[in-house]
Amino acid sequence: GDSVTQMEGPVTLSEEAFLTINCTYTATGYPSLFWYVQYPGEGLQLLLKATKADDKGSNKGFEATYRKETTSFHLEKGSVQVSDSAVYFCALKGGSARQLTFGSGTQLTVLP
């Protein structure tokens, strides 16, 4: 079945540091790929998505590129802020099923 593997956390960075959170996936066909963010005590919010190979999703300074050849969708941000502290989930939809399949999440803490 489909699966998503995320870089293990937690990740702690200083403000304005560069962020990379690795995500790789296994799926049949050509899934859509998503990054969701979860702030403490809240549900999930879509951060960005990409629906086909070489697409780049971007939002709020975050970017991720759909790499079919490496089955990856790494999340990057050039300069993180304290307000970016949250748990980030990589997910896919498609492949063998129409529901979202999530990774285990990466906790990010940004220190001032």
Partner 1 sequence: ETGVTQSPTHLIKTRGQQVTLRCSSQSGHNTVSWYQQALGQGPQFIFQYYREEENGRGNFPPRFSGLQFPNYSSELNVNALELDDSALYLCASSLDLKWDTEAFFGQGTRLTVV
The binding site for partner 1 (CB under 8 A) comprises 4, 6, 31-32, 34, 36, 42-46, 49, 51, 89, 91, 93-94, 97-105
- Nearest-approach distance from CB 63 to partner 1, in angstroms: 18
Nearer to partner 1, 41 or 112 (CB): 41
- Nearest-approach distance from CB 16 to partner 1, in angstroms: 28
DSSP state for residue 41 in the 8-state scheme? T
Spell out the residues 6+ positions from residue 82 whose beta carbon is closer than 8 angstroms to its own: 15, 110, 111, 112
Contact present, 35 and 64 (Cβ < 8 Å): yes
Give me the half-sphere count of Cα atoms (radius 13 Å) on the Cβ side of residue 12.
2
Nearer to partner 1, 84 or 106 (CB): 106
Give the length of the chain: 112
Structure tokens at 107: 């906790």
Nearer to partner 1, 69 or 98 (CB): 98
d(CA 92, CA 54): 15
Nearer to partner 1, 17 or 100 (CB): 100
- Nearest-approach distance from CB 94 to partner 1, in angstroms: 4
